[in-house]
Amino acid sequence: MASVASFDIVSDFDQQELKNALDQVERELHTRYDLKDTKTTIESGADKLTITTNSEFTLQQVRDLLESKLIRRNLSLKILDYGKEEPASGSRVRQVVTLRRGIPDELQKQITKRIRDDFKKVTPQIQGNAIRVQAKSKDDLQAVIQALKAADYPVALQFENYR
């Protein structure tokens, strides 16, 4: 009997790396000359961040700083979904940033259809928030991974449980 190789396609991020990046941003907010006196805060929840600062300019500076720290920690910027800027109390500005996890159903269907159309020897299955891809040849699975990495999807894709 031939063995079957498989891997899972997921969209997730390392929570600890995100926490480390946020700690670095907080540290830099207190030491950078242009951001020191802005009383900027970043509150983190389970699936969102709330940035509160004194102007739209400093909000842009904090977003740039956050993005640079995420990139250094090997986190994709596709996990960030910026909400609209809204006024907060005391003539301040607030922005809610939603953290994306999981692959949306419509995108799962699109990915599985693409795999079925392009790779005949590979079978994808939707399993909750993941897509399991199976094939007899590991070379076929490697080709699928390379094709999906080359495509630009609105979520960050990771390939796990490669067996």
The predicted model scores a pTM of 0.84
Whether 50 and 43 have beta carbons less than 8 Å apart is answered as: yes
Answer yes or no: same fold for 5-12+103-160 and 15-99. Answer: yes
Tens-place pLDDT, residues 25-61: 999 999 988 888 888 999 998 899 999 999 899 999 9
The answer as to CATH 3.30.70.990 being correct for domain 15-99 is yes
Residue 84 has pLDDT above 80, yes or no: yes
Instruction: Indicate the domain borders of the chain.
Output: 5-12+103-160, 15-99
Can you tell me the distance from the alpha carbon of 59 to that of 62, in angstroms, rounded to the nearest whole number? 5
Phi then psi dihedrals of residue 72, to 5 deg: -65, -25
Fold of 5-12+103-160: Alpha-Beta Plaits (3.30.70)
* Cβ–Cβ under 8 Å, residues 95 and 50: yes
Burial class of 88 by CB neighbour count within 10 A (0 to 12, 13 to 18, 19+): middle
Mean pLDDT of 72-89: 92
